[in-house]
Structure 1
């Protein structure tokens, strides 16, 4: 145990001090910061200001419709629009439009006495912001309903008439054939965010730390340092020490990236943009986070043992990329299956992938975040993954013990088997 801790500490300290680790971490943290601030930069460079958008409202031709629009707009719970009334399209309106005091103005175009008039929006641009148009259309729909009914309906009846019809999705329960309702409110944006963050972090950890494990083993082997190391520490202790040490490095990077994200999102102008996503972390399902972390750890160790075994078979770093390609393709396949199946998390493909150890760490995280996996599916998936880690760990340990002593060209499976028998492994 003491030798294992020494290998872990040596691997961690040695890798943290390298320029490649520092530069990679710094570049990724910088990219995260830029990505979080992209919406803010777009608003700044497009000349858009924060706060409600001011729109002029000309009421000379239809004063009753202008008053009605102002009344219905005032009833909106959240408004990003401010209406400023003008009696007519005179010099003051043109002056305010030119100075930017208002983004544009609305006017009702006369039609026949019985028809609702057309509504024109005039601005210096040939487009209108999507949220402004949505808000105006909602208020104008209420105005049109009130105009057509000629006051025969109350405000409550007009509001009910304009309210969209909600469709509740129901799912047939497996117990006694009873119906259990599952409407759109059961979808948790927080669980989705946690799920998406976990699969991204797992994929990045596998790709980055896995390749670092294989590269370090190959570098030590090519420089003949391995011959010195195995005299003081067993190959198995070296392999698992490197795997655990690299895992700690991956956790350190994750903590740094999470800190960068939290710091940037805590800025006032970024907090405003988060309000529209309704992220309430008090509503997070603890099972999603706990089981997600379990799959995260198990998935890492499954791939890490394979990267270490493959790295021990390569004598030159130039051959490493080709050697680890099959493992890289497996991790990419798992990521793509999970990503492209988010619209159908309970599909046959996802259910089958739950029992494939190379895919289950990502696919099960997706199903727990936005799907409905049964308890027995989760248990069987974890058991299969644990058995696979044991089997591949045992096989990788044997390959590692043999591979670190084989130099020259990459051995074939037949040569590797003979070497394992010769070393009585």
Structure 2
């Protein structure tokens, strides 16, 4: 057993001190800090304090004030300024950076407003959309006055219809709870996806590296291949926990210190103020089980290749399984109760992401989550037994071997030992 712990801690410490791990961790920490400080970064580079300055050339003399009032209601970050010069002078002011854009107001043949928007670039579709909505409201009011509609009648006409949603299922989540769950599940799905795909690939590469350097020949003379496989899986698992602990600590404190600036964005819509304990527990369970499922798969696939260059080709089917589960989960965010989502949540290779999606967004019976976990554990055990046999023979195979037919050869070598 001592040899098992030696390999485990050697794998962990060797990867922990590697330049690639340190650089990756630092880069990810910078990204986390950037995302949680995004509003401060935008304000730092925005010389107008987040406001868009628009010059208005009103040919009618009647549309500027109504439009200005509408824009205050639509988007207060758009500052309209009535321009007194000519169109050419206004265009030059835009080119010199005094304004973000220019809007020309005029009447059409029916004496209703129309406009032309000019800017150095028309890539900012949200700014154009806000201006268009404001002008549309002005046009609606003028058209209503022409047919003698009172402001009260116009308000009634555009008043949203009362349309409530009521869930008949007992203990069903409210709209607010669903938004919170959707945001949390969205974030954690990315965490599960990237962690599994990154660390499983690391295990396969680690095994192939040792084989290519012939270190494996020395190792198998003193330590059984099965011990090697599980020592590497657990060692890199500890490495992933260490890295994620750093990300979570940095992200949590940075998020808490910038919550005021983020409350109107993603966190304002979804919110993370009251995360159910059960959801966190399920997230940890499915993260760990998903890791062991794909790590075991990656270890024995990595044992079949002798060159590092062949690793990616060998683990491509595994990668496609992870991507497939992630894409299904992304679809399920909008329809978590679809029959297709329910069925695929019991497929072990998809369970870590899709069953977690269901338990996070729906109120499902506990037995369904337990069944999904049981199937996942059973698959891991079966894969570990089969993978250990393949790994045991695979580490003895050298030469250009990157075909799945080599699994049969690896099993034959295991029998002949």
Relative to the length of structure 1, the TM-score reads 0.73
Q: Is 1:109 the counterpart of 2:106 in the alignment?
A: yes
Where do residues 10-29 of structure 1 align in structure 2 (5 Å cutoff)? 10-25=10-25
| Corresponding residue for residue 80 of structure 1 | 77
| Corresponding residue for residue 8 of structure 2 | 8
- Cα RMSD of the aligned pairs, angstroms, is 4.7
| Corresponding residue for residue 297 of structure 2 | 306
- The CA deviation at 1:298 is 0.3
Alignment partner of 2:264: what SS? helix
Aligned partners of 2:55 and 2:99 also within 8 Å: yes
Quick one: structure 1 residues 388 and 97, their matched pair in 2 at CA, closer, same or farther if it must change by over 3 Å? closer
Aligned counterpart for 2:385 among listed residues 394, 402, 405: 394
Where do residues 313-324 of structure 1 align in structure 2 (5 Å cutoff)? 313-317=304-308, 319-324=310-315
Aligned partners of 2:11 and 2:235 also within 8 Å: yes
- The CA deviation at 1:356 is 1.2
Where do residues 205-216 of structure 1 align in structure 2 (5 Å cutoff)? 205-216=195-206
| Corresponding residue for residue 265 of structure 2 | 276
Aligned counterpart for 1:352 among listed residues 343, 354, 357: 343
- The CA deviation at 1:257 is 5.2
Q: Is 1:239 the counterpart of 2:235 in the alignment?
A: no
Tell me, which stretches of 5 or more residues in structure 2 are unaligned?
none
| Corresponding residue for residue 114 of structure 2 | 119
Which deviates the most, 375-384 or 274-283? 274-283
Aligned partners of 1:198 and 1:296 also within 8 Å: no
Tell me, which stretches of 5 or more residues in structure 1 are unaligned?
none
Structure-1 separation of matches of 2:237 and 2:278: 23
Structure-2 separation of matches of 1:107 and 1:348: 53
- The CA deviation at 1:301 is 0.4
Aligned partners of 1:56 and 1:85 also within 8 Å: yes
Aligned partners of 2:94 and 2:120 also within 8 Å: no
Query: What are the superposed Cα offsets for residues 103-127 of structure 1, whole Å, 9 maximum, x if unpaired?
Result: 4555653567xx5532334545584
Aligned partners of 1:142 and 1:159 also within 8 Å: no
Structure-2 separation of matches of 1:342 and 1:11: 37
Aligned partners of 1:58 and 1:85 also within 8 Å: yes
| Corresponding residue for residue 372 of structure 2 | 381
Structure-1 separation of matches of 2:123 and 2:310: 56
Relative to the length of structure 2, the TM-score reads 0.74
Quick one: structure 1 residues 7 and 55, their matched pair in 2 at CA, closer, same or farther if it must change by over 3 Å? same
Q: Is 1:332 the counterpart of 2:340 in the alignment?
A: no
| Corresponding residue for residue 282 of structure 2 | 291
Q: Is 1:196 the counterpart of 2:203 in the alignment?
A: no
Quick one: structure 1 residues 401 and 167, their matched pair in 2 at CA, closer, same or farther if it must change by over 3 Å? same
- The CA deviation at 1:228 is 4.4
- The CA deviation at 1:128 is 8.6
Quick one: structure 1 residues 142 and 323, their matched pair in 2 at CA, closer, same or farther if it must change by over 3 Å? closer
Structure-2 separation of matches of 1:416 and 1:92: 78
- The CA deviation at 1:342 is 4.3
Alignment partner of 1:275: what SS? coil
Structure-2 separation of matches of 1:336 and 1:75: 39
Structure-2 separation of matches of 1:235 and 1:141: 72
Aligned partners of 1:169 and 1:182 also within 8 Å: no
Structure-2 separation of matches of 1:139 and 1:328: 48
Quick one: structure 1 residues 165 and 125, their matched pair in 2 at CA, closer, same or farther if it must change by over 3 Å? farther
Aligned partners of 1:55 and 1:84 also within 8 Å: yes
